[in-house]
Amino acid sequence: AQTVTQSQPEMSVQEAETVTLSCTYDTSESDYYLFWYKQPPSRQMILVIRQEAYKQQNATENRFSVNFQKAAKSFSLKISDSQLGDAAMYFCAWLLLTSGTYKYIFGTGTRLKVLA
């Protein structure tokens, strides 16, 4: 069974500093997608960044970047120059596209606190 693990229930970072959130996953598939979603107190799920497993290059979106290690099945999110608005729950998610089952599997989430 495919699983996604986020081992850090909670993380804190000083404003303007850098923080890395960890995510590991378990799958025997080779073609899949990985995502980081942010859920602020408003409850809305917002896509932060996406990575295709067939691409070796790590995805970046402004202050957000990932470290994708396919062999290690690791997908960490680095937030640079942290801002107060980054405070939220962050969920790592895995999607297998080719199976026809269309299921996003989420990790348990990491609550990020940003300290002023």
Partner 1 sequence: DTAVSQTPKYLVTQMGNDKSIKCEQNLGHDTMYWYKQDSKKFLKIMFSYNNKELIINETVPNRFSPKSPDKAHLNLHINSLELGDSAVYFCASSQGIRSNTEAFFGQGTRLTVV
Q: Which residues bind partner 1 (CB under 8 A)?
A: 33, 35, 39, 42-45, 47, 50, 52, 89, 91, 93, 95, 97, 100-106, 108-109
Under a CB-based contact definition with an 8 Å cutoff, are residues 72 and 4 in contact? no
25 vs 91, beta carbon nearer partner 1:
91
| Two tokens, residue 18 | 């850098």
25 vs 35, beta carbon nearer partner 1:
35
Q: Provide the minimum distance between the beta carbon of 103 and partner 1 in the complex, in angstroms, as a whole number.
A: 6
CA separation, residue 48 to residues 25, 30, 87, 101 (Å): 18, 23, 13, 23
17 vs 55, beta carbon nearer partner 1:
55
CA separation, residue 110 to residues 31, 36, 65, 96, 100 (Å): 25, 11, 16, 22, 29
3 vs 14, beta carbon nearer partner 1:
3
Q: Provide the minimum distance between the beta carbon of 16 and partner 1 in the complex, in angstroms, as a whole number.
A: 27
Q: Provide the minimum distance between the beta carbon of 53 and partner 1 in the complex, in angstroms, as a whole number.
A: 11
CA separation, residue 94 to residues 2, 19, 59, 66 (Å): 9, 21, 15, 14
